[in-house]
Structure 1
Amino acid sequence: MDAVIKKLMPAPDGVGKTATQRPSQQEVEAAVRVLLRWAGDDPDREGLVDTPKRVAKAYREMFAGYDMNPAEELGRTFEEVAGYDDLVLIKDIQFHSHCEHHMVPIIGKAHVAYLPDRKVVGLSKIARVVDIFAQRLQTQEAMTAQIAAVIQEVLNPRGVAVMIEAEHMCMAMRGIRKQGSTTLTSTFTGAFKDSPEEQVRFVTMVRAGN
């Protein structure tokens, strides 16, 4: 796999195993108990007794992307496309991620397009790639680049365009506490990067009907 992809994407170190050694279930639950005490509550009271176990289970779900390889999702392609070689756009892909700085939610939607070169991939696979990267600790900028890079590397299309719109709870819940503000990021490769007209077409199609 390309060096850029390796840098952007923590690759699994085997089935169900990542390069980072995970602590035990007991260690995780003990850490949650410490955080509950740090917050000022009693981890032994009735409502919190099972919270460490629930948090550990929730984290397994929310950060499942570390155990998945997005390149594998794109592995099966189709060449019977009746000569179609124009833009393919999957827009409004809803996702939930977590900010790597404060570990609070990032809630948004991704718009992903590519210009196929004799082959296409199942539409659900693009959405799955978004989910895999979202289910990791992220910055929006890195996630945008990761999605574009893996699609470009695996499918080798004539170009990829990715736009992400998201609200960051680290801004809404803490610090300046500005609810409703949206961050927009985008990146382009290949024909999209080389052609302002293709960029305008992508953005126009994303905004159509909104």
Structure 2
Amino acid sequence: MPLAPGVPSPVPPSRSRRRAPAAKAPAPRAVRPDPAGMARAVRDFLTAAGLDLQDVNLVDTPTRVADVWANGFLDGYGRTPEEALGKTYPAPADSSGELVVVTDLRFHSMCPHHLLPFTGRAHVAYVPGSRVVGFGRIGALVDLFAHRLILQEDLARQVARSLARVLGSPATACILEAEQACLRLRADHQRDAVTHAEAYEGRLRRDGPLRRELWARLGARTGAGR
């Protein structure tokens, strides 16, 4: 039976109800290295390279390589930024806007492009927000991400972002200078090349007085000690 003019048509119940928003999928967790799988892959690689793995000097090489990669070079996959930074403390009430800078943190990492190492120094800075952390823990955060297969640019970015998130910092920075084995060993006449990567979060993303203050400190350090 048709409805009178101006009377809206009824909406079927299945269409009139709003669907509940889908639950967000949990963030993917970093997969820890599989030493047994890595040993098999190393064995295949060495065999393909023409080595005789029955040689008494090479028979244990796949296991040794897998162990040093899983437990040395890639052990950063087994920890979180919160675990690396450890105990944090309430920021002093009068610390707002003041830079905390730690320079010359030595690190080593592995580039995923050629599985070759890069080593260097990290300079990390942050403005205290709600929390602060011990200086030594900042080096632990750098190592957390450095001990993964990661590009130098991503290493800087992950350190700056994690420091901002965990400490509630309004401004963070990570500046890396490194020697890349894939560049120094493969490219002609580039044995002295040094690569640089910078990452900024919050107020330090803008080129202003705070960033200039940071670079003045880094420049003073370079002029005084190098």
TM-score (norm 2): 0.77
Contact persistence 2:130–2:168 (CA under 8 A): no
3-state secondary structure, aligned to 1:180? coil
3-state secondary structure, aligned to 2:41? helix
Contact persistence 1:144–1:186 (CA under 8 A): yes
Separation (CA, whole Å) in 2 of partners of 1:200 and 1:155: 22
Q: Quick one: which of 29, 36, 50 aligns to 1:11?
A: 29
Contact persistence 1:140–1:164 (CA under 8 A): yes
Contact persistence 1:96–1:108 (CA under 8 A): yes
Confirm or deny that 1:57 pairs with 2:67.
yes
Question: Structure 2: 5+ residue runs without aligned partners?
Answer: 1-23
**How many residues end up aligned between the 2 structures?**
195
Q: Quick one: which of 29, 44, 48 aligns to 2:39?
A: 29
Query: Could you say which residue in structure 2 is the equivalent of 1:111?
Result: 123
Code of the residue aligned with 2:43 in structure 1: it is: R
Query: Could you say which residue in structure 2 is the equivalent of 1:15?
Result: none
Q: Which structure exhibits the higher relative contact order, with contacts defined as CA atoms closer than 8 Å and separated by 6 or more residues?
A: 1
Confirm or deny that 1:124 pairs with 2:142.
no
Confirm or deny that 1:159 pairs with 2:177.
no
Separation (CA, whole Å) in 2 of partners of 1:143 and 1:133: 6
Once the two structures are superposed, what CA deviation does each residue of 1:21-67 show, in whole Å capped at 9, x if it has no partner? x5462x43232122222333222212212211110110112100111
Separation (CA, whole Å) in 2 of partners of 1:96 and 1:82: 36
Aligned ranges for residues 169-184 of structure 1 at < 5 Å?
A: 169-176=181-188, 178-184=190-196
Query: Could you say which residue in structure 1 is the equivalent of 2:215?
Result: 203
Identity across the alignment (%): 33
Code of the residue aligned with 1:41 in structure 2: it is: L
**Cα distance change, pair 28–165 in 1 and its aligned pair in 2 (3 A):** same
Deviates more, 1:190-199 or 1:88-97: 190-199
Code of the residue aligned with 1:73 in structure 2: it is: A
Question: Structure 1: 5+ residue runs without aligned partners?
Answer: 13-17
Code of the residue aligned with 2:90 in structure 1: it is: E
Contact persistence 1:11–1:69 (CA under 8 A): no
TM-score (norm 1): 0.83
Query: Could you say which residue in structure 1 is the equivalent of 2:49?
Result: 39
Once the two structures are superposed, what CA deviation does each residue of 1:107-158 show, in whole Å capped at 9, x if it has no partner? 1111000011253111111111100100110111111111111111111112
3-state secondary structure, aligned to 1:146? helix
Q: How well do the aligned residues superpose, as a CA RMSD in angstroms?
A: 2.3
